[in-house]
Structure formats: structure tokens, C-alpha cells
Homo-oligomer: A and B are copies of this chain.
Amino acid sequence: MTGGYPVGPMRLSCLFAPTLREDPADAEIPSHRLLLRAGFIRPVMAGVYTTLPLGLRTMRKIERIVREEMDASGAQEIRMPIVLPADPWKATGRYELYGDVMFKLTDRHDRELVLGPTQEEVAAPLIAGDLPSYRDLPINVYQVEWKYRDEFRPRFGLLRGREFLMKDAYSFDRDEEGMRESYRIMYEAYERVFERCGLDFVVVEADPGQIGGGVNHEFMARASVGEDLFVECENGDYLADTEAARPMAPEPAGEGTEPMVEVDTPDTPTIEALAAFLGVEPSRTLKCVMFDVAGRSTAVLVPGDREVSVNKLEKLVFPAKVRVFEDGDFEARGFVKGYVGPQGFGEDVLVVADHLVRGGRDWITGSNARDRHVRGANVGRDFRVDRWEDVVEFREGDRCPVDGGSLRIGRSIVVGHIYQLGTNYSAPLGARFVDEDGTEKPYVMGSYGIGISRIMAAAVEQRHDDLGIVWSKALAPFEVVVLVANQDDERVCAEGERIYRELGQMGVDVLIDDRELTAGVKFADADLIGYPVQVVVGRRGIEQGSVDLKLRATGERSSAALVDATRAVVDLLASAP
């Protein structure tokens, strides 16, 4: 018997919310597995999903939080197309830069098109086309729209999809100062967004990536399955990008005590071979890595158990180009590969030492002759350092630069990323305004992204247990489920309907599970879907004049008098996270 369409999406009996008993085979992480099992999403192909009614409700709640905070920050919502002409992307160089990650197509007239992975190339010409005066600045436009990246290996459900929902905003200012202010406003709006979404997150100033990139911050939701790493102090007072973490400099080790002597070390061109041959820890040796920096030979010194961060070196000497020595460089410039030491370098060699080198003395290092090293080399006495810098690659256990605590790697999911773009896009796109002095200038831009569908997945990663999802009130598809345990009992149904109706009238986002199924199935589904509060209306309770309540987050159960059930639910909901 088909029952027609009972109106109202708040009845589980008429909600398209199919749950799965079994874990889907290819779902590797909890959010992927649970969003499939609880009926929030269904795959269409690799990295591309349909969002079902429950998923859409949660997504809309996230969108709403984002929109409210964007609007409250003076940003204005617009909507940009998804299918875009390729030319602006060629002008900014991103057509090449994205490469295969960008979906590309041609239209019937063989014009090259792309599917937008972000929208700087649309927003900049848009504002430039209509807003020619500095008086109209600043302006910040945003949209909530699907984005496209043709990931080589889409996986992890909504975390690395090929189609994903993003809020992207673009600010336009007349100068750097304005851009920094627009950026600050967005930074604060982002903090509010992720707080309201109930995420446990950190904000990390990210490595600018390509040299010359501007300031940018990542908003990272902690998650053990996250692929985005950051560095944090065990005491919670330091956060950094793994590329940018600066360990605390050690106490200076003081003057050396040994004389510098040469030793025979046959066939030991690597630190490993040397330390093994001499029977010492690698940290006792001094590693001396040679680079060409804008033509000048440059030696970078770090303790033997550490690596030089080429990234840090590049930023130190930017815009000069950095190139690690090749075999030919050693020979041509008179260095012996595998046996370089800093003693006796001429002024033509720039000597950069990491701060960690201050913590050691009586170093073992190269003798500048094949198969020989020196012991007892000391800074100042035996070799000079031109610049003390942070050039070492971060390692777990390094000391925090703030309080000396132990630094560790945190794993996360990046849910927001904001950038100070400067004129990197507006200049090549010719997106200009007329300044007070009458001259045309490129906008100084910022761009600001939030992964809406990613937040949904990140929230599940942070809030789930063996039974299913544990939604926060803010993101739950429904705040409360009224679970009718005995659907065949008229009185039970009537009381369930009453409580459901009263909660709705009080503005609670409530769903009734009125399906013709056993209580056991309903209990399992309620835990799986993860409504913050469950109200169980059953025969035995009714006979005793009570209903059972359960707070999903803690599993805590309580009961309330039937007559007072609605108020008890509202109170319990208020206490829910």
C-alpha cells in the first residue's frame, strides 16, 4: 500500500534517510563511513556525492552560520558561475599552475573553458568592471558555491572530493593597509564561524608557499585522520606551520675544551658512515651543506642529526635564487664533496649557521680533504659564522620558542584558509580602480575560503563514537528525535505525536521517528544519525507516566514525567554541547 505524501519533512516515515547496517567497503575514515551509513550522502562517482535530506539540513546550518558571520562583517553575497572562460586563468598563470587538477573543457565553438576551483579570476574583473572609484572601497563579495578540482586520487569522502561546497570571499582595497584591515575582519569572522560550528580548531600562519606569496592563515580542525600537519607546543602556547616552525635556540654550550685535530675517516662521506666509524652520536657532528645563492657559495651548518630546510633558506635570501651544490660545483669551487668543514673558508663563502649549532662544541666535521675529518672544531676559534638563522627542518620534540616545552606534530583538516593576495591577481588581470589622485591602480586583494562540506566531515571526525555520529546542536540535522518505541500502540503514538508537536511549537528542530519498525532499529538509527537529544516514548513509560531522555554526547539517560516532557527536553537540549 503506497501512502501518498504525508506533508512535512520532520517525519522519519516520509524522509528519504536510508541508513546502512554495514560499513561501506571503500570508506576508510570515520566521517566517510558514518555520513554514508547515516544517510547523509551517497556517491555518484569517485569524489562526487549526492547530498541527501539529512546531509542537506546539516550543510544548510553550516551555510547559515557562515552567511551570518559574513554579512555581519560587511561582506556581500553574490553568485559567480561555475563554468568559466579559460583566458583569465591563463593571464594569472593558474591555468598552468593547476594543471591536471583543473577540469578543462571546450564548448561547441571550441572555446576553452574551465570549472572554477576558486574564483579570483572572476571576482577581480567583476569589481573592476563596475567600480572605478576609490570612494567605493573597500568592498568584499562572497558566494557559497560548488568548486571543482580533479584530484588524482579522490578519497576520504567529503574531505578530498572533486566537487565540494565552498564559501569564497574576495576583498578589494586601495592599499596594503586597507587589505590588512579587511583581512583582520575576515580572520575574526572565521574564528566565530568555527566556534559556532563547534569545531576544535587552531589557526596557523601558513607558509606562503611559493616565494613571494603573502601572509596567509589556515584554520585547522584537529582530526587524527587529517592530512594537514601543524606544529604545536605541549603547553598550548605555540602553533606553527611545519615549514615555518622555529625551535627555541639552545643555551650556548660555551667554549670548546678540545684542540682541533684531524683524524683518518676512510670512506665516510655521509653523517651516518662517519658516526658509525667513530662510534659517536650523529648529533656530535656538524653538517655543512653547500648551496649556490645567487652565484655565491654558501655553507649552511646544522647539527649532524638535523636537516637543512631549503624552504627556510629560500625565504631568508629571497629574492635571490637558491640551488644546492651539484657534483660539478664542489670540484669547480675547490670543495671536497662529503668532507666539507667550515674551517678555513674564505670571505667569498657565506657561512650560515642554525641557532641549534650554538648548543654544541668540539664538533666533528669535514677536514676539506677526502677521507679525513676533524674533531674539536669550535665556533669563533676554528671557524666563523656570518649569520645565525633558523634554517633547520622542524623535528618532533624540538623545544617551543615560547616556553621551551616539547613541540609535537598535530594532524588536522584545513577548513578555512585566508590569504593576503596584494596585487598578485589584480595586476595581471588589469583589475583597477581610480585612486584619489586620478591614477589607475590595481586593487589590493584578499581572498578567504571556507570548506562547507569539509566542515561537515571534520565535525563528524571530531564527534563520533562506535555507535555513530554525535552532532553538536549547531550542526545536527535535527536537534531532537522523538522515538516512538511501540508504533502499534495508539496511546504511545498519540503521546509521541503530542510531544513532537509541542516541541515544534516551541521552536525546537524536532523529528519524529514514526516508522513501522522495531524499537531496536529506531534506537540504532538514532545513535547512528546522532541527534543531540533522544526522547523515547514507549509503552512501559506511558503506563508509568514517563518518557526516557538520552543525551547523545554523554549517553546519559534520564526520565521525565509525561506531563512535563516537553520542558524537560528543552532543558536537556539547552545543556547539550
Asked whether, in the complex, the Cβ of B138 is within 8 Å of the Cβ of A5, the reply is: yes
* Chain B residues, CB < 8 A from A80: 44, 50
Asked whether, in the complex, the Cβ of B108 is within 8 Å of the Cβ of A105, the reply is: no
Asked whether, in the complex, the Cβ of A73 is within 8 Å of the Cβ of B7, the reply is: yes
Whether, in the assembled complex, A347 has its beta carbon less than 8 Å from a beta carbon of chain B, the answer is no
Identical subunits present: 2
Q: How far, in angstroms, from A76 to B511 measured CA to CA in the complex? A: 14
Whether, in the assembled complex, A81 has its beta carbon less than 8 Å from a beta carbon of chain B, the answer is yes
* Given contact pairs A42-B129, A50-B122, A181-B4, A77 touches B56 in the complex (Cβ within 8 A): yes
> CB < 8 Å: which of B5, B81, B138 contacts A44?
B81
Q: Nearest Cβ distance between residue A101 and chain B, in whole angstroms?
A: 8
Q: How far, in angstroms, from A56 to B84 measured CA to CA in the complex? A: 19
Asked whether, in the complex, the Cβ of B79 is within 8 Å of the Cβ of A150, the reply is: no
Q: Nearest Cβ distance between residue A423 and chain B, in whole angstroms?
A: 16
* Chain B residues, CB < 8 A from A81: 44, 48-50, 163
* Chain B residues, CB < 8 A from A393: none
Whether, in the assembled complex, A434 has its beta carbon less than 8 Å from a beta carbon of chain B, the answer is no
* Chain B residues, CB < 8 A from A173: 2
Q: Nearest Cβ distance between residue A6 and chain B, in whole angstroms?
A: 7
Taken residue by residue from 1 to 12, chain A's Cβ proximity to chain B (1 for < 8 Å, 0 otherwise) reads as 110111111000
Q: How far, in angstroms, from A389 to B497 measured CA to CA in the complex? A: 58
> CB < 8 Å: which of B74, B79, B107 contacts A56?
B79
Asked whether, in the complex, the Cβ of B50 is within 8 Å of the Cβ of A126, the reply is: yes
Taken residue by residue from 35 to 53, chain A's Cβ proximity to chain B (1 for < 8 Å, 0 otherwise) reads as 0000100101100111111
* Chain B residues, CB < 8 A from A163: 81-83
| Stretch in A140-148, A272-280, A303-311, A456-464 touching the partner | A140-148
| Stretch in A13-21, A192-200, A261-269 touching the partner | A13-21
* Chain B residues, CB < 8 A from A294: none
> CB < 8 Å: which of B83, B122, B130, B140 contacts A148?
B83
Whether, in the assembled complex, A174 has its beta carbon less than 8 Å from a beta carbon of chain B, the answer is yes
Taken residue by residue from 50 to 86, chain A's Cβ proximity to chain B (1 for < 8 Å, 0 otherwise) reads as 1111001001000000000001111111111111110
Whether, in the assembled complex, A238 has its beta carbon less than 8 Å from a beta carbon of chain B, the answer is no
Q: Nearest Cβ distance between residue A103 and chain B, in whole angstroms?
A: 6
Chain A positions near chain B (C-beta within 8 angstroms): 1-2, 4-9, 14-16, 18, 39, 42, 44-45, 48-53, 56, 59, 71-85, 100, 103-105, 107-108, 111, 115, 122, 126-127, 129-131, 134-135, 137-141, 146, 148, 150, 152, 162-163, 173-174, 178, 181-182, 185
Question: Other CB < 8 Å A-B pairs besides A7-B71, A100-B108, A108-B152, 20 of them?
Answer: A1-B135, A2-B138, A2-B173, A4-B74, A5-B75, A7-B72, A7-B74, A9-B71, A16-B130, A42-B126, A44-B126, A45-B84, A48-B81, A50-B79, A56-B77, A56-B79, A81-B163, A83-B148, A83-B162, A103-B105
- Cross-chain pairs A/B with CB under 8 angstroms, 23 sampled: A2-B138, A4-B74, A4-B181, A5-B73, A5-B138, A5-B182, A5-B185, A7-B72, A9-B77, A14-B76, A16-B131, A16-B141, A18-B130, A39-B130, A42-B129, A48-B81, A56-B78, A56-B79, A100-B108, A103-B105, A104-B105, A107-B162, A108-B152
